[in-house]
Structure 1
Amino acid sequence: MLLEINDLTLRYGRIEALHGISLYVNEGEVVALIGANGAGKTTTMRAISGLRPVGEGAIRFNGEDITNLRADLRVRRGICQAPEGRGIFPGMTVLDNLDMGAYTRRDSAGIAADLERVFELFPRLAERRRQLGGTLSGGEQQMLAVGRALMARPKLLLLDEPSMGLAPMIIQQIFDIILEINQQGTTILLVEQNAQQALSRAHRGYVLETGRIVKEGSGQDLLHDPSVKEAYLGVA
């Protein structure tokens, strides 16, 4: 088991955002976390990456308790996030943004090899390597956010709403690349409002509602679950 979360509680002031959630991610999996706005999906991601302190519960990664570990040390352990809203550096070139993803690394040969891998996955970024991040289209910025996360050579890649604000054709392309990244050996935890795209590619999934996990199962089982279809897929 690569990631294990047990009875995790997280508060914003007096408001309890996560109510004792438990989930796990096995090495090599794509696991989807779906739910409506405000369900606690991004909060869960921030807890895993160390950007929000937890109240109670435990987070274990690769057999180690990381519940209280600093965020930068989690990156060094192999957890890297492409955040909601992309979070690229608009005034820096594509190449400089990608270099920032490798800031914890010192293996120049490995960094060069991973840069070529990112350009193979995202040929558009190779074409625009000298272009400022802020001048890219929304889809290209999402590619850059994922590519930057890959430059850390993560064991676990956290993807927060990768399809947000993108055209349907670009969404399809992004999800195809996510699947390819997984097939190349990277484990992925995916937060996504586009339940159809997420569950159709996930090995397993969890449904989060108001800070609680209410369903879990294989991607296909959840995709065909009547209550999931009605709530998240627009099918009555």
Structure 2
Amino acid sequence: MLLEVKGLSVNYGHIEAIRDISFGVAEGTITTLIGANGAGKTTTLKTLSGLRKVREGKVTFDGKDITDLSPERRVKLGISQSPEGRGCFPAMTVRENLDMGAYVRSDRKSAAYAQDLDRVYELFPRLKEREKQAAGSMSGGEQQMLAIGRALMARPKLILLDEPSMGLAPKLIQQIFSIITEINQQGTTVLLVEQNAAQALKRSHEAHILETGEIVRSGSGKELAGDPAVKAAYLGGDV
């Protein structure tokens, strides 16, 4: 497993946000966490990024115990995140935002850096067109593309995507999910948090359902998409 989470518990003050969850993310896969608002999905990703403290449990990445590592150290090891709400720097240009995603890299004048920038522009041609435009003046869909592109500029082994389809029009949602699949096929492992369960399960190798901070069901994306209880709770009765 590229990422292993064992017995993870996280609190917000006295409130237990995540309770004794365990799961793994195999290298080269798309793994999805689905669940209602407040289920603990975003808290899980923030904990894996090092933004929330672990109360109990262990997180292992690429064979290394990262439970207590700083967020910066985790980025250097190969974990980057596209956060919920996109979190673009509004006054900075598209290119400046992308460069910020590579803040841990020391090879900005190298051919490898140029190749990674080209890869982002190939995945998201709109970003190339808007390279000198302020991020805050772009549409929600364009900002989502920028947030994912920025995370890719760290050259991650594992990218954490938090609600990438939130607030987007149906046509853009389809486009974003197609690009997520392409990112994975290019070799980047994906851990996806998503409320659009139908699209997420359709593209996932493995999936886990979170309810009130606990994993209540796990299986392949296809298995969960075909489960009557999952259909009733998350898919409106049908995928």
Aligned-partner Cα distance in 1 for 2:231–2:26: 26
Residue type of the alignment partner of 1:15:
I
Aligned-partner Cα distance in 2 for 1:180–1:13: 39
* 1:160-179 map, 5 Å: 160-179=162-181
TM-score scaled by structure 1?
0.99
Aligned-partner Cα distance in 2 for 1:77–1:101: 14
Report SS of the residue matched to 1:6.
strand
Residue 38 of structure 1: aligned partner: 38
Residue 120 of structure 2: aligned partner: 118
Aligned-partner Cα distance in 2 for 1:182–1:129: 24
Give me the CA root mean square deviation. Answer: 0.7
Aligned-partner Cα distance in 1 for 2:217–2:85: 27
Task: Using the TM superposition, give the Cα deviation of residue 112 of structure 1 relative to its aligned residue in structure 2, in angstroms.
Answer: 1.1
Aligned-partner Cα distance in 2 for 1:135–1:223: 38
Report SS of the residue matched to 1:45.
helix
Residue 141 of structure 2: aligned partner: 139
Aligned-partner Cα distance in 2 for 1:57–1:204: 22
Answering whether residue 132 of structure 2 is matched by residue 130 of structure 1, we say: yes
Q: In the TM superposition, what whole-angstrom CA distance separates every residue of 1:73-125 from its partner, at most 9, and x where no partner exists?
A: 00000000000000000000000000111111112321111000000000000
| Gapped regions of structure 2 (runs ≥ 5) | none
Aligned-partner Cα distance in 1 for 2:111–2:182: 23
Residue 84 of structure 2: aligned partner: 84
Aligned-partner Cα distance in 1 for 2:67–2:223: 31
Equivalences, count: 236
Runs of 4+ more than 4 Å apart? none
Q: In the TM superposition, what whole-angstrom CA distance separates every residue of 1:156-185 from its partner, at most 9, and x where no partner exists?
A: 000000000000000000000000000000
Residue 48 of structure 2: aligned partner: 48
Aligned-partner Cα distance in 2 for 1:224–1:124: 36
Residue 93 of structure 2: aligned partner: 93
Answering whether residue 198 of structure 2 is matched by residue 196 of structure 1, we say: yes
Aligned-partner Cα distance in 2 for 1:27–1:178: 15
Aligned-partner Cα distance in 2 for 1:156–1:85: 20
Aligned with residue 228 of structure 2, among 226, 229, 233 = 226
Residue type of the alignment partner of 1:204:
E
Aligned-partner Cα distance in 2 for 1:12–1:105: 32
Residue 214 of structure 1: aligned partner: 216
Residue 67 of structure 1: aligned partner: 67
Q: In the TM superposition, what whole-angstrom CA distance separates every residue of 1:4-59 from its partner, at most 9, and x where no partner exists?
A: 00000000111111110001000000001000000000000011000000100000
Aligned-partner Cα distance in 2 for 1:106–1:19: 38
TM-score scaled by structure 2?
0.98
Residue type of the alignment partner of 2:150:
R
Residue type of the alignment partner of 2:186:
Q
Residue type of the alignment partner of 2:204:
A
Q: Quote the sequence identity (%).
A: 66
Residue 103 of structure 1: aligned partner: 103
